[in-house]
Amino acid sequence: MNAPSWMALLLLVVATLLSNGMAFVGSPNNLIPYKQSPLLSAHQDESSSDGQVDRRSFLSVPLSSVILAGIPSDANAAKGAAEYDLEYYMRDLFMGNKKEGNLPVSNAPPAAPPRTLREPLLPLLLDDELQSSIPIQELARVTAIPIGALAEQVIAFRSKVAPAFQASHPWQRESVTDEYYFDLTCYALWKVASATIQDYAVRDKFVRSIGSRLLNEMVQRQFLSKQSITLLNKNDNKLTDLIPCVIEVLDIFQSTSYCSSYRLGDKNDEERSGLKVFDELDDEEISSPNGAGSVNCLVSIFDPASLGGSLQITGEGSRFSPDFVGPTLAALFERVGAKVDFESYFVDPVYRPNPKDFFPNERFYQFTIARKS
């Protein structure tokens, strides 16, 4: 809608309001996405007897028709967003839109049956005794607290929160091989970690040490192909060289049933996903002193086994939540001699009209791989 049309529309609305008053009603046959498109309608006044156009006659014509009557025909083809927005906000100003009130949170979708986590990766992520897995060992190393004492704290906290956790995600076995019991144990371990590590820099060090050790164990135990192991043992890798390694690492997480699936790259750009997630220009950005010096990489992990605990901790106001994939891939990208930072977000793929409803199934990562200065 051009500027003269806007001015004419606004002047007509104000003039009509001052002289006659107005009423807005919604038309069931004129709806647009997200907002109802209101139309000006007749007030229930008696017809004028002096031969002049009365308010009933005048306001029976939709506002847009009155204004657009003097505009060239191509402007009458369809209402644009501007017309709809003005009608909506004018109706809200004078009549008020429908009040939704304080809507309660809807019931969450029913939980799927828990997956069974398995080797080769599971013993490295968590163990039932909380003695030999990487997170408990790294927590003991960072805090200088014996593993046995940490395990007792984790078990005690897990027992305290188990009833509430089980109500929404019922496990079938009290074992970390059960997806939901794994999730509960992750939550308890990270809560103990947050209580014993107050320094944010040390927390970051703890998380990254988990990813670094996981990657090293994958190499040493030959979870990866010989080609990938050879590449990861080199010091002059390029980002394009590492693409098969990234896919193998993600495949291992999926084959362990840590996640149901994953996506490497931008879902809206097939040219920047999968085996094409990096190209020669990205290699140049990282290696050349004349390059901009940073490359972004997007990764989505669907239905991660630690999702419930991560969401709970995030809801409590902390970003220090269970994570295995993020730090492992960060350690892998560092093999090109780059500095790697990453952020993660939770994504609900379903549009829900109630803003309080949020039931994500995806953890979305954005990695920034930058040339070291």
Residue 273, pLDDT score: 87
Residue 293, pLDDT score: 78
Predicted model pTM? 0.73
Task: Taking residues 27-55, report their average pLDDT.
Answer: 37
Helix 134-143 to helix 147-168 angle (10° resolution) is: 130
What's the CA angle centered on 138, arms 136 and 144, to 5 degrees? 95
Residue 52, pLDDT score: 45
SS (H, E, C) 57-94: HHHCCCHHHHHHCCCCHHHHCCCCHHHHHHHHHHHHHH
Q: For the segment 175-225, what is each residue's pLDDT rounded down to a tens digit?
A: 999 999 999 999 999 999 999 999 999 999 999 999 999 999 999 999 999
Closest CA to 48 of 20, 18, 69: 20
Q: For the segment 324-342, what is each residue's pLDDT rounded down to a tens digit?
A: 999 999 999 999 888 999 9
